[in-house]
Amino acid sequence: MGSRSSHAAVIPDGDSIRRETGFSQASLLRLHHRFRALDRNKKGYLSRMDLQQIGALAVNPLGDRIIESFFPDGSQRVDFPGFVRVLAHFRPVEDEDTETQDPKKPEPLNSRRNKLHYAFQLYDLDRDGKISRHEMLQVTEEQLENIADRTVQEADEDGDGAVSFVEFTKSLEKMDVEQKMSIRILK
Amino acid sequence: MFLLLPFDSLIVNLLGISLTVLFTLLLVFIIVPAIFGVSFGIRKLYMKSLLKIFAWATLRMERGAKEKNHQLYKPYTNGIIAKDPTSLEEEIKEIRRSGSSKALDNTPEFELSDIFYFCRKGMETIMDDEVTKRFSAEELESWNLLSRTNYNFQYISLRLTVLWGLGVLIRYCFLLPLRIALAFTGISLLVVGTTVVGYLPNGRFKEFMSKHVHLMCYRICVRALTAIITYHDRPRNGGICVANHTSPIDVIILASDGYYAMVGQVHGGLMGVIQRAMVKACPHVWFERSEVKDRHLVAKRLTEHVQDKSKLPILIFPEGTCINNTSVMMFKKGSFEIGATVYPVAIKYDPQFGDAFWNSSKYGMVTYLLRMMTSWAIVCSVWYLPPMTREADEDAVQFANRVKSAIARQGGLVDLLWDGGLKREKVKDTFKEEQQKLYSKMIVGNHKDRSRS
């Protein structure tokens, strides 16, 4: 990689980011290193495609929604402060955060309330402040499609994408059908 | 003008003498041992002294940083975040148990809290994933006096800067011309030697000469890179030899210890000249660009070669691309379908002396070779593993994975299932469906348990 040093002076607005997110200088340095590793074309910002290149994120069922959370208000780029602001939600809560709670300062990004708000946002796609039934359906829809696909796939032997009677019989060969599908009438 | 003349001839004489001396030294210490395969141990001594200097340099930097009260950037080889090794099922059960106030025997199909697991996992991969970091050079824990691996440039003391400057001088003005001269000698000897051997009549003598010409030239190239190689166990020749791929230098390293037939695409230019010359002396397998796409043709030619007992073992790199030598990625199943015995080889470079990884998206071939020749040395270990064959109930993919695990274990590399092709492309949808299937299985699984009871 041959990266040049990324000490505090190189990170723009390093001090204000530190105050806003609560990350230590060492952590910020690492995250900046990571930001530059993800930014393959050295643009100075990340696009959706840069995040989609991460293999393990692409297989995550919530992958797309997580990527969206980095681009609020329909923007196409996320710079380093924006990147760190989202990651700050996942900073572990330390005792010092709750003790020095100055009522005038805004809540730290990793407070319980802000963590919950982040998760809420993943459900609330249209950002109207409510999780509608439609949005809930969308989350479960993908799961249901996969359940259906998998069930058919497991029983399907000849690969025609459908379960014939023979295939149905074979997949239930261990089940005690005679007992489960019988009703005894009392004398 | 007349005053210059006596000095002129003196300088010319001095130049002539020093060149002769240099050439003799070169011949005696480098080329002759290369021909016979012996070593004076000069390179090992060089390596030991370098290690001592590096240790001192790192100490100086740490002390200097402490004095100025700054923090040194220290790369962690195990990733930057603490990860929990629990599985999907355990975590979701845990989340539901702690969050839900309902009775446990009423297992729900879906809970609002299920999202937390995937959310965190997703965020973890954004901060640090297993694949992205394999396509850039490995980060060193202590500095090796090359500015290209330095992360803390400003915390250098005067003594260290002088040492670094000395290092630059030695590397660029002494080692580089020496290495280029050797490389030139090695390559021209290879071309000339194999062409000459090609004119001999086919027979035992030709094979003998061909083997030794090849070995000699590869050994000269090894010295041209100042490669210090430690071989573990003896090479067992036969069948197909597979190894993990870090750079084009892998070929030189393996071929200087064993006589292999190469497999590859026909190139133009200098590479093409070398390829055509080599094929005169012994049968290598070169494919035209158009033939490479045809998988059946490739498989057929390889099978023919392997089944002919008189032909040499082939050398193949199944990853298909260069990885940075901290992990082994998915092996392409093509070479494992042929059905021959596979002889795995593990290669591990020590990045302290010079990083051999070829980042093809960052450096071209020539830049890469120059970087190699201006590093301190290329130090690596080669392990020859016992042969493996495909078992009756295994398919090619499982066999490939088994070989890959053996290589990763021996070389101390991380065994990844991801495809090296991710360097340039996105993940295929099939992988995403796998993860979703796992999750849905978990949900449906609850129903099945209930209905059976």
- Model pLDDT, residue B83: 67
B30 and B182 in contact (C-beta within 8 Å)? Answer: yes
B316 and B263 in contact (C-beta within 8 Å)? Answer: yes
Beta bridge partners of B265: B287
Choose among B128, B132, B440: nearest Cβ to A146: B440
The answer to whether the Cβ–Cβ distance between A59 and B418 falls below 8 Å is no
The answer to whether the Cβ–Cβ distance between B118 and A3 falls below 8 Å is no
Residues 426-445, chain B: which have Cβ within 8 Å of A? 426-427, 431-437, 439-441, 443-444
A81 and A21 in contact (C-beta within 8 Å)? Answer: no
CB atoms closer than 10 angstroms to residue B287: 17
Residue A118: its chain B contacts at CB < 8 A? 119
- Model pLDDT, residue B392: 82
From residue B209, give the alpha-carbon distance in Å to each of B114, B186, B188. Answer: 69, 16, 17
B337 and B261 in contact (C-beta within 8 Å)? Answer: no
What chain A residue is nearest to B360 in terms of C-alpha separation?
A1
The runs of H, that is alpha helices, within B246-373 are 249-255, 269-281, 289-292, 295-307, 365-373
**Distance, CA of A128 to CA of A121 (rounded, Å):** 10
- CA torsion, points B174, B177, B178, B180, in degrees to nearest 10? 150
Choose among B119, B152, B436: nearest Cβ to A146: B436
The answer to whether the Cβ–Cβ distance between A55 and B153 falls below 8 Å is no
Parallel, antiparallel, or unpaired for β B342-350 and B378-384? Answer: antiparallel
Asked if B122 is an interface residue toward chain A (Cβ–Cβ < 8 A), one would say yes
**Distance, CA of B229 to CA of B226 (rounded, Å):** 9
Residue B443: its chain A contacts at CB < 8 A? 143, 147
- Give A7-58 pLDDT, tens digit per residue: 444 677 778 888 888 888 878 888 888 888 888 888 888 998 888 888 778 7
The answer to whether the Cβ–Cβ distance between A56 and B432 falls below 8 Å is no
Residue A56: its chain B contacts at CB < 8 A? 121, 125, 129-131
Asked if B417 is an interface residue toward chain A (Cβ–Cβ < 8 A), one would say no
Q: Which region holds residue B412: left if phi is over 0, alpha if psi is between -120 and 50, else beta?
A: left
Beta bridge partners of B242: B316, B344
- Model pLDDT, residue B44: 82
Q: What is the average pLDDT score of chain A?
A: 79
Tokens of B396: 């090619």
**Distance, CA of B20 to CA of B447 (rounded, Å):** 86
Q: Which of B143, B440, B441 to mutate to test the interface with A (most CBs of A within 10 A)?
A: B440
**3 state DSSP class of B75:** coil
- Model pLDDT, residue B452: 40
Looking at this predicted complex, what is its ipTM? 0.73
Q: Tell me the helices (H) and strands (E) count for chain B, helix number first.
A: 15, 9
Q: Which of B116, B125, B146 to mutate to test the interface with A (most CBs of A within 10 A)?
A: B125
**Distance, CA of A79 to CA of A83 (rounded, Å):** 6
The answer to whether the Cβ–Cβ distance between A59 and B441 falls below 8 Å is no
Q: How many residues can be counted in chain B?
A: 453
The answer to whether the Cβ–Cβ distance between A142 and B436 falls below 8 Å is yes
- Model pLDDT, residue B3: 55
Q: Which residue has the higher pLDDT, A126 or B425?
A: A126
Asked if B71 is an interface residue toward chain A (Cβ–Cβ < 8 A), one would say yes
- pLDDT by 10s per residue, chain B, length 453: 555 566 678 888 888 888 788 777 777 777 777 777 777 777 888 888 888 888 887 777 777 777 766 655 565 555 667 766 666 667 667 766 666 555 455 555 666 667 787 888 888 888 887 777 777 777 766 667 776 666 655 556 777 778 888 888 888 888 888 888 888 888 888 888 888 888 888 888 888 888 888 888 888 888 888 888 888 888 777 778 899 988 888 888 888 888 888 887 777 777 788 888 888 877 888 888 777 677 778 788 888 888 877 778 888 888 878 888 888 888 887 778 887 888 999 999 988 888 888 877 777 778 888 888 888 888 889 999 988 888 888 888 888 889 999 999 988 888 887 777 677 666 666 666 666 666 666 665 544 444 443
Q: How is chain A split among helix, strand and coil, in percent rounded to 5?
A: 55, 0, 45
The answer to whether the Cβ–Cβ distance between B73 and A5 falls below 8 Å is yes
The model's pTM is 0.70
Q: How far does A120 lie from chain B, in Å, by closest CA?
A: 9
Rg (CA), chain A: 25
**Distance, CA of B104 to CA of B93 (rounded, Å):** 10
**3 state DSSP class of B228:** strand
Q: How far does A104 lie from chain B, in Å, by closest CA?
A: 30
CB atoms closer than 10 angstroms to residue B13: 10
